[in-house]
């Protein structure tokens, strides 16, 4: 699942700008109406909805600053709605100022210009209006925001619903206790020894103003010693050199075959190979940038969020010399941002809580990078409260009974499950909708892995390991039914010697780390042969593992992976192929596709395999043609969701509000309903209740998607009979699709 590219985000931003313009006009009209007529609950409710819709839209199209201002506006109107704030001139002034603020900010956001400070100012004015202070008392933003301004912010949401601060008996990998100085023992234990480094590169301030500048290389001018060039030229160079190297190897085998000369005995040939190798290394190096070029962005996020949540946090970096392919680093930006925000939000305790536990008031978040062979390992660690494994287990246990029996280490990894992250993270300063499952999905896209370790009371560490470059893929090569296949090493969990399998509930299972894993032969999964008694390769997809029996393990190889071309339909089980030096083709398999195929085969449903893997380019595959009804009064959100689901192969219907949704449903029963909360005429809760009351729709899963994340809302949603509750935010279609797929899968 690839995220929409820049173009489509820009498209949606423009769409949102047009929509917001209309809504802001409505807001002003209604506001002036309100000023004339005094109290009018309906009008106030409508004003609130408009502000809310703008907030939701802004968050979804990736305009967080606009969303924050709209949020403040919404909060102010909420005060009015709850009769806690009278409609008077200062209030109208404040709302109008907020509207004007948003009006100015949106074009800046669309143009990609810096508008953070302006947004902060606008937000502060609104916040002060909420607390009843006048604009004259406005603080000097941003660093010195006084408690008065902070106090009206929602309290920081806790990790996994308020982990209590008791220690967990039987916590799997015991880690050193926190030292009084606050140095993270985890980081040290994890192999990040070495001197501490200054907190950030010197260019940090400039980079913070334009976070992309430092890492995108924009705005750098060419000098006598540097040349600027488009990235694709370097990419072309890398690709061509790769092809030249491959051609040289083929030349070598041709020499041997046709002339009977061993090419390695020829000095000329050896020189050519050596030069090409050097060239390849140089070209790959041209794509490398320091991992820490991301640090300014992350530091900024830490600072902002710490200020927002009233915490004291120091951000430290180490590993300035670790470099990585910029294509890989691009894809790491969001996951790292998410982990760092999580660390501030959920990891680091508020100062008084830290005092209670004799910890330094200032928490520490560390970003460490180091190169290990062909991988770069990046660790995000904090010295906060750690992850409460029991709570994670409990939360997961609601949907998966097996979670209750898991040991602590296994249970800790439940935080990467989509269901869990959406279910437990409903409030959200850091909960920008991107769950840890999405982090893992992003990492999977760059063939990376993530590990987590946590010590209650002492801190948490997330370690990400990614290949330095994606130009080649390290694979395990196996024989199966007379054919040779490569399995990407990043998806191999373990290799098991030949062993008997047991049958559990009709499925063949083997044990790995004390847990049962389904097992079948690779040949039968691929349909190329039958069972074998050879060793088994345990592959892991995003959510499941599966053991695949093969005839032999051959070796490990770096494979330059190519696609299979446009003529062949996409094959979920085949990632691509590489041309070997002897001219043969080595197929590279895809773990997730294999697991899915194996799973379908076990259910004896060959027809569904064919259906699932049928033509996906020309028409939506049958198994995905499930229909989704998207209910949202915001055009931008509706269209964005429509595009996300249609791209994923679903059929999409849309409705403007609850009433319209029910009308649509009576025409055609959707397979799933995704609804906003705040809507005119009939809101999402009422819609959910109405759906649940009708027996024809009793089994239609309902997901409530909202930008308003309060416990009360969530409780109401679940009481109304919703199957899921997701906080929407910028382009998090990974989590959304996962949630939808999960619910549809459960229903099927």
Partner 1 sequence: MASVTAPSAVPGQLALLVPVGRDTYALSLDTVREVVVEPRVTQLPTAPPVVLGVFNIRGDIVPLLDTGLLLGLSPVMEQPYAVLVETPHGVAGLVATDMPLTVRLSESVGHSDMEGTTETYLVGDTRLAVALDIPTLLSPARISR
Interaction site with partner 1 (CB under 8 A):
243, 246-247, 250, 483, 526-528, 562-569, 571-574, 577, 579, 583-587, 597, 613-615, 617-618
H-type helices in 319-405, by residue range? Answer: 326-342, 351-356, 389-397, 402-405
3-state secondary structure of 122: helix
Q: 3-state class of 29 per DSSP?
A: helix
- In whole angstroms, give the CA distance from residue 668 to residue 64: 36
Between 246 and 547, CB nearer to partner 1: 246
Q: Which is nearer to partner 1, 206 or 585 (CB)?
A: 585
For the chain, how are helix, strand and coil distributed in percent, rounded to 5? 50, 20, 35
Q: What's the order of all strands across the beta sheet hosting 449-455?
A: 313-318, 363-372, 375-382, 459-467, 449-455
In whole angstroms, how far apart are CA 707 and each of 56, 74, 370, 667?
5, 11, 37, 29
**Choice between 487 and 703, CB closer to partner 1:** 487
Q: Please report how close the Cβ of residue 616 comes to partner 1 at its closest, in angstroms.
A: 8
Work out how close the CB of 585 gets to partner 1 at its nearest, in angstroms, rounded to a whole number. 4
Q: In the bound complex, what is the minimum distance in angstroms from residue 735's beta carbon to partner 1?
A: 29
Q: Which CB atom, from 438 or from 574, has the smaller least distance to partner 1?
A: 574
Between 586 and 743, CB nearer to partner 1: 586
Run of H or E including 745: helix 733-747
**Beta carbon nearer to partner 1, 242 or 419:** 242
73 with 126: CB under 8 angstroms?
A: yes
Helix/strand/coil for 287? coil
469-502 in b/e form (b: 16+ CB < 10 A) is bbbbbbbbbbbbbeeebbbbbbbbbeebeeeebe
Element of type H or E holding 235: helix 231-254
Closest separation in Å from C-beta 617 to partner 1:
6
Residue among 247 and 398 whose Cβ is closer to partner 1: 247
Burial class (CB in 10 A: 0-12, 13-18, 19+), 705: buried
Q: What are the backbone angles phi and psi of residue 187, rounded to the nearest 5°? A: -60, -40
Name which of 547 and 574 has its Cβ closer to partner 1. 574
Burial zone of 91 (CB within 10 Å; 0-12 exposed, 13-18 middle, 19+ buried): buried
Least Å from the CB of residue 484 to partner 1: 9
Helical H runs in 589-634?
Answer: 591-602, 606-612
- Shortest separation between residue 176's beta carbon and partner 1, angstroms: 49
Q: Are 251 and 289 in contact (CB under 8 A)?
A: no
CB of 607 to partner 1, least distance (A): 15
| Minimum distance of partner 1 from residue 182's CB (angstroms) | 53
Minimum gap (Å) between residue 582 Cβ and partner 1: 10
Nearest distance in Å: CB 248, partner 1: 11
User: Of 170 and 565, which CB lies nearer to partner 1 in the complex structure?
Assistant: 565
Q: Which strands sit side by side in the sheet containing 473-480, from one edge to the other?
A: 552-559, 473-480, 483-488, 585-589, 574-579
Q: What is the DSSP letter of 357?
A: T
Is 408 within 8 Å of 388 (Cβ atoms)? no
Q: How far is the CB of 613 from partner 1 (least distance, A)?
A: 6
């Amino acid at each position: 699942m690839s995220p929409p590219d820049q173009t489509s985000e820009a498209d949606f931003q423009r769409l949102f700008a047009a929509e917001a313009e209309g809504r802001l006009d409505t807001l002003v009209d209604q506001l002036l109406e309100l000023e004339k007529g005094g109290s009018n609950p309906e009008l106030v409710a409508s004003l609130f909805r408009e502000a809310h819709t703008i907030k939701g839209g802004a968050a979804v199209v990736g305009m967080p600053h606009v969303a924050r201002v709209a949020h403040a506006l919404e909060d102010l109107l909420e005060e009015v709605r709850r009769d806690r704030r009278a409609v008077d001139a200062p209030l109208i002034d404040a709302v109008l100022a907020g509207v004007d603020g948003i009006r100015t900010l949106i074009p800046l956001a669309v143009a990609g210009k810096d508008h953070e400070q302006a947004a902060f100012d606008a937000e502060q004015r609104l916040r002060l209006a909420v607390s009843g202070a006048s604009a004259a008392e406005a603080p000097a933003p941003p660093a010195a925001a006084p408690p008065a301004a902070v106090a009206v912010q929602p309290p920081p949401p806790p990790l996994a619903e308020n982990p209590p601060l008791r220690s967990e008996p039987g916590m799997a990998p015991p880690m050193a206790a926190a030292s009084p100085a606050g140095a993270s023992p985890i980081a040290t234990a994890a192999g990040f020894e070495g001197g501490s480094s200054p907190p950030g590169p010197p260019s940090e301030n400039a980079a913070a103003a334009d976070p992309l500048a430092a890492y995108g290389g924009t705005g750098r001018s060419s000098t006598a010693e540097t040349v600027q060039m488009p990235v694709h030229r370097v990419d072309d160079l890398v690709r061509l050199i790769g092809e030249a190297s491959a051609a040289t190897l083929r030349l070598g085998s041709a020499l041997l075959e046709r002339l009977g000369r061993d090419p390695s005995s020829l000095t000329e040939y050896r020189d050519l190979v050596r030069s090409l190798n050097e060239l390849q290394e140089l070209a790959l190096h041209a794509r490398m940038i320091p991992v820490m070029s991301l640090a300014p962005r992350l530091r900024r996020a830490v600072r902002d969020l710490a200020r927002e949540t009233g915490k004291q946090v120091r951000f430290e970096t180490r590993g300035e010399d670790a470099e990585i392919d910029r294509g890989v680093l691009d894809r790491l930006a969001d996951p790292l941002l998410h982990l760092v925000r999580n660390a501030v939000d959920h990891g680091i305790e508020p100062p008084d809580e830290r005092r209670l536990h004799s910890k330094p008031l200032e928490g520490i978040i560390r970003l460490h990078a180091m190169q290990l062979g062909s991988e770069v390992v990046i660790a995000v660690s904090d010295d906060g409260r750690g992850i409460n494994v029991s709570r994670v287990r409990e939360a997961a246990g609601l949907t998966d009974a097996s979670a209750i029996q898991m040991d602590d280490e296994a249970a800790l990894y439940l935080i990467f499950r989509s269901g869990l992250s959406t279910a437990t993270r409903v409030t959200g300063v850091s909960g920008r909708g991107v769950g840890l499952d999405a982090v893992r999905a992003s990492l999977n896209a760059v063939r990376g892995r993530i590990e987590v370790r946590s010590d209650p009371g002492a801190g948490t560490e997330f370690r990400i390991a990614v290949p330095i470059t994606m130009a080649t893929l390290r694979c395990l090569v196996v024989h199966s039914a007379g054919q040779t296949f490569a399995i990407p090493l990043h998806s191999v969990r373990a290799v098991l010697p030949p062993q008997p399998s047991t049958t559990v509930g009709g499925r063949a299972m083997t044990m790995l780390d004390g847990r049962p894993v389904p097992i079948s032969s690779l040949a039968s999964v691929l349909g190329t042969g039958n069972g074998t008694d050879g060793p088994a390769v345990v592959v892991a997809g995003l959510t499941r593992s599966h053991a695949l029996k093969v005839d032999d393990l051959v070796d490990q190889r770096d494979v330059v992976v190519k696609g299979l071309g446009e003529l062949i339909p996409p094959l979920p089980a085949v990632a691509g192929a590489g041309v070997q030096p002897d001219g043969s083709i080595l197929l590279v398999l895809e773990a997730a596709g294999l697991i899915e195929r194996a799973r379908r085969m076990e259910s004896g449903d060959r027809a569904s395999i064919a259906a699932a893997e049928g033509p996906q380019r020309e028409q939506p595959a049958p198994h995905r043609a499930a229909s989704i009804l998207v209910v949202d009064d915001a055009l931008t959100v509706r269209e964005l969701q429509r595009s996300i689901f249609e791209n994923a192969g679903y059929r999409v219907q849309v409705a403007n509000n609850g009433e319209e949704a029910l009308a649509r449903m009576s025409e055609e029963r959707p397979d799933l309903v995704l609804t906003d909360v705040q809507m005119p005429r009939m809101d999402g809760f009422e819609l959910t209740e109405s759906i649940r009351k009708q027996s024809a729709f009793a089994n239609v899963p309902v997901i409530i998607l909202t930008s308003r994340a309060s416990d009360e809302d969530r409780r109401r949603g679940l009481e109304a009979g919703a199957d899921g509750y997701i906080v929407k935010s910028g382009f998090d279609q990974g989590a959304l699709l996962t949630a939808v797929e999960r619910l549809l899968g459960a229903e099927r």
